[in-house]
Chains A and B, each alone.
Chain A
Amino acid sequence: MSQSKLPSALKIGISRGFLEVKQFMRQRESVVFTLLFPVLLLLIFGSVFKDEIAPGVTFSQYFVAGMIASGLVNTGFQQLAITIPMERDDGTLKRLRGTPAPASSYFIGKIILVFVSMSIQVILLLIFGVLLYGIALPSDSAHWITFIWVMLLGLISSTLLGIAFSSVPKSGRGASAVVSPIVIILQFFSGVFFVFTQLPSWMQNFAAIFPLKWLTQGMRAVFLPDSFAAQEVAGSWELGKIALFLGIWSIAGFFLALKTFRWEK
Chain B
Amino acid sequence: MSSTSSAIEVHGLLKSYPNHVAVAGIDLEVKSGEIFALLGPNGAGKTTTVEILEGYRSRDGGSISVLGVDPANTDLRAWRDRIGIVLQSTKDAADLTVEEAISHFAGYYSNPKDVDQVITAVGLSEKRKAKGEQLSGGQRRRLDVALGILGNPELLFLDEPTTGFDPEARRAFWDLIRQLKNDGTTILMTTHYLDEAEALADRLAVMTNGKILEVSTPALLGGRARAKARVSWSENGKSNLELTDSPTQFVNQLSSRIDGEIQDLSVTRPNLEDIYLEMIGEKV
| Residues of chain A having any CB pair with chain B under 8 Å | 1-7, 11-12, 15, 19, 22-23, 26-27, 87, 90-92, 94-95, 97-102, 264
Return chain B residues, CB-CB under 8 Å to A94: 56, 87, 90
Bound Cα distance A87, B91 (Å): 10
Return chain B residues, CB-CB under 8 Å to A5: 110
What residue in chain A is nearest B91 (Cβ atoms)? A90
Closest Cβ–Cβ distance, residue A30 to chain B (whole Å): 11
Return chain A residues, CB-CB under 8 Å to B226: none
Closest Cβ–Cβ distance, residue B183 to chain A (whole Å): 15
Closest Cβ–Cβ distance, residue B160 to chain A (whole Å): 14
A91 near B54: Cβ-Cβ < 8 Å: no
Return chain B residues, CB-CB under 8 Å to A98: 54-56, 80, 85, 87
Question: Which of B1, B92, B110, B152 is the one whose CB lies under 8 Å from A95?
Answer: B92
Closest Cβ–Cβ distance, residue A249 to chain B (whole Å): 30
What residue in chain A is nearest B93 (Cβ atoms)? A92
A12 near B56: Cβ-Cβ < 8 Å: no
Does B109 reach chain A (CB closer than 8 Å)? yes
A95 near B90: Cβ-Cβ < 8 Å: yes
| Residues of chain B having any CB pair with chain A under 8 Å | 1, 54-56, 76-78, 80-82, 85, 87, 89-96, 100, 104-105, 107-111, 147, 151-152, 154
What residue in chain B is nearest A94 (Cβ atoms)? B87
Q: Which 10 residue pairs across A and B have the least CB separation, nearest first?
A: A2-B111, A98-B85, A92-B92, A91-B90, A100-B80, A100-B81, A91-B92, A26-B95, A100-B77, A4-B110
Bound Cα distance A264, B51 (Å): 12
A15 near B1: Cβ-Cβ < 8 Å: no
Bound Cα distance A1, B93 (Å): 29
A95 near B109: Cβ-Cβ < 8 Å: no
Return chain A residues, CB-CB under 8 Å to B96: 19, 22-23
Contacts A1-B82, A2-B81 given; 19 further ones with Cβ under 8 A? A1-B1, A1-B154, A2-B152, A6-B77, A6-B81, A6-B109, A7-B107, A11-B107, A27-B95, A90-B94, A91-B92, A92-B92, A95-B87, A95-B147, A98-B87, A99-B109, A99-B151, A100-B78, A100-B80
Bound Cα distance A1, B55 (Å): 20
What residue in chain B is nearest A263 (Cβ atoms)? B56
- Majority-rule SS of B interface residues: loop
B105 near A99: Cβ-Cβ < 8 Å: yes
What residue in chain B is nearest A87 (Cβ atoms)? B92
Bound Cα distance A7, B152 (Å): 15
Closest Cβ–Cβ distance, residue A7 to chain B (whole Å): 6
B92 near A100: Cβ-Cβ < 8 Å: no
B104 near A99: Cβ-Cβ < 8 Å: no
Bound Cα distance A94, B129 (Å): 24
What residue in chain B is nearest A23 (Cβ atoms)? B95
Return chain A residues, CB-CB under 8 Å to B91: 90-91
Bound Cα distance A92, B94 (Å): 10
Bound Cα distance A184, B78 (Å): 44
Return chain B residues, CB-CB under 8 Å to A97: 56
What residue in chain B is nearest A86 (Cβ atoms)? B92
Bound Cα distance A263, B76 (Å): 15
Scoring A3, A27, A87, A92 by chain B CB atoms within 10 A of each residue's CB, the highest score goes to A92
Closest Cβ–Cβ distance, residue A194 to chain B (whole Å): 38
Bound Cα distance A11, B94 (Å): 23
Pairs across A and B, CB under 8 Å, 9 listed: A6-B77, A6-B78, A22-B100, A91-B87, A91-B90, A92-B92, A98-B87, A99-B108, A100-B110
Bound Cα distance A3, B110 (Å): 8
What residue in chain A is nearest B88 (Cβ atoms)? A91
A100/B109 contact (C-beta < 8 A), A1-B1, A91-B92, A92-B92 known: yes
Return chain B residues, CB-CB under 8 Å to A1: 1, 82, 154
What residue in chain B is nearest A105 (Cβ atoms)? B108
Return chain A residues, CB-CB under 8 Å to B107: 7, 11-12, 15
Bound Cα distance A23, B95 (Å): 6
Return chain B residues, CB-CB under 8 Å to A87: 92
Return chain A residues, CB-CB under 8 Å to B92: 87, 90-92, 95
Bound Cα distance A185, B92 (Å): 32
Return chain B residues, CB-CB under 8 Å to A7: 107-110
Bound Cα distance A94, B77 (Å): 15
A100 near B151: Cβ-Cβ < 8 Å: yes
Bound Cα distance A7, B105 (Å): 11
Closest Cβ–Cβ distance, residue A245 to chain B (whole Å): 36
Bound Cα distance A95, B92 (Å): 8
A101/B90 contact (C-beta < 8 A), A2-B81, A94-B56, A95-B147 known: no
